[in-house]
């Protein structure tokens, strides 16, 4: 519960910072729009995970009722997780086409079109993923395994889904966006290293501010991709746990799942010098008064 409240507070802080910029008449850049969408998804994930935790603690038998479980686990979670992955992919693609000097037709086309159409892409991708993810409710059944021989603080169950639908939704919702993010990150990293090498060979100065901007974007891409891959592996493992697994193991994995939006909030804050300065200033003022 503490982890959920901490992550919720961090993401709300970022949301308020962006809302403050809009209120002051400052327009958001393309990357800021993606990060703002990411924060909103994280807040929704936090609220869902907190609600699930409360139901687990106070009414565990209610959690595995058909309507509650399908609404939380099979309806909203796949959509929010898939949208989170695709937002990472969009951010990585945007950074890639903004930073790299690659002359490939696809990169050049994206460099011209993506910044001006990013808002439409965010809305269209969110709607498309909702259409793909939400029917999971009708393709899924639950087989509860609440027997009297196994005493557990967690009520266990099996998720039975249509194989073809599960394969297509997992491919489109997690594997494809993570693959796109990986390719974009690899191209960006290679381009940055190659550019630095070329500048050194030509004995020309590499502007510190430009280098820091590119390095910061590349680091953000790597961190987002790494945390998303780890989170995806944890989710797959969590939903494939046998009913005989210990409660401590389930609880530890659940804490890792809840920590995902917290980790993303930390990545967003470290990627923005303005957010870091504001957070530091507030902490200093709080310590003073």
CATH classification at residue 224: 1.20.1070.10
Burial class (CB in 10 A: 0-12, 13-18, 19+), 152: middle
pLDDT value at position 21? 80
The DSSP-derived string for 69-98 is HIIIIIIIHHHHHHHHHHHHHHHHHHHHHH
pLDDT value at position 6? 79
Inside any domain, residue 147: yes
Domain housing 195? 2-283
pLDDT value at position 191? 82
Inside any domain, residue 275: yes
pLDDT one digit per residue (tens) for the chain, 289 residues: 666 677 788 899 899 888 888 888 777 888 889 999 999 999 988 888 777 777 766 766 666 565 565 555 555 678 888 999 999 999 999 998 888 777 778 878 888 888 888 889 999 998 988 888 776 666 666 555 544 333 444 445 555 666 776 777 788 889 999 999 999 999 888 888 877 777 677 655 555 666 777 888 899 999 999 999 999 999 888 777 766 667 677 778 888 888 888 999 999 988 887 777 776 665 544 544 3
Inside any domain, residue 288: no
Q: What CA–CA distance (Å, rounded) separates 254 from 58? A: 17
Inside any domain, residue 237: yes
Inside any domain, residue 64: yes
pLDDT value at position 144? 54
Q: Which residues pair with 142 in a beta bridge?
A: 159
pLDDT value at position 99? 82
pLDDT value at position 160? 60
pLDDT value at position 203? 57
Inside any domain, residue 87: yes
pLDDT value at position 176? 94
Inside any domain, residue 230: yes
Q: What CA–CA distance (Å, rounded) separates 59 from 132? A: 30
pLDDT value at position 287? 47
Q: How many domains does the chain have?
A: 1
Buried b (16+ CB within 10 A) or exposed e, 168-186: ebbebbbeebbebbbebbe
pLDDT value at position 153? 43
Inside any domain, residue 129: yes
User: In this structure, what token pair is assigned to residue 179?
Assistant: 């693959």
């Amino acid at each position: 519960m503490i982890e959920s409240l901490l992550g919720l507070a961090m993401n709300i802080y970022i949301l308020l910072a962006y809302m403050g910029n809009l209120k002051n008449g400052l327009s958001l850049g393309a990357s800021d729009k993606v990060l703002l969408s990411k924060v909103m998804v994280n807040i929704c994930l936090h609220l869902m995970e907190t609600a699930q935790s409360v139901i687990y603690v106070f009414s565990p038998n209610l959690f595995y009722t058909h309507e509650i479980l399908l609404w939380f686990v099979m309806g909203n979670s796949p959509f929010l997780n898939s949208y989170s992955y695709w937002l990472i992919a969009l951010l990585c693609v945007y950074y890639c086409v903004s930073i790299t000097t690659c002359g490939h037709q696809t990169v050049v086309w994206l460099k011209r079109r993506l910044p001006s159409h990013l808002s439409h892409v965010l809305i269209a991708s969110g709607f498309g993923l909702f259409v793909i993810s939400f029917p999971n409710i009708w393709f899924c059944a639950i087989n509860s395994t609440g027997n009297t021989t196994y005493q557990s603080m967690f009520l266990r169950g099996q998720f039975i889904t249509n194989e073809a639908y599960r394969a297509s939704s997992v491919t489109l919702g997690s594997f494809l966006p993570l693959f796109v993010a990986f390719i974009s990150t690899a191209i960006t990293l290679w381009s940055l290293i190659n550019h630095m090498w070329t500048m050194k060979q030509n004995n020309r100065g590499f502007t510190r501010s430009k280098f820091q901007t590119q390095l910061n974007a590349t680091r953000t891409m790597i961190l987002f991709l790494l945390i998303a891959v780890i989170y995806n592996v944890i989710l797959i493992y969590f939903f494939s746990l046998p009913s005989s697994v210990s409660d401590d193991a389930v609880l530890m994995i659940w804490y890792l799942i809840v920590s995902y939006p917290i980790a993303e909030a930390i990545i967003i804050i470290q990627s923005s010098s303005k957010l870091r300065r504001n957070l530091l200033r507030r902490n200093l003022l709080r310590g003073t008064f």
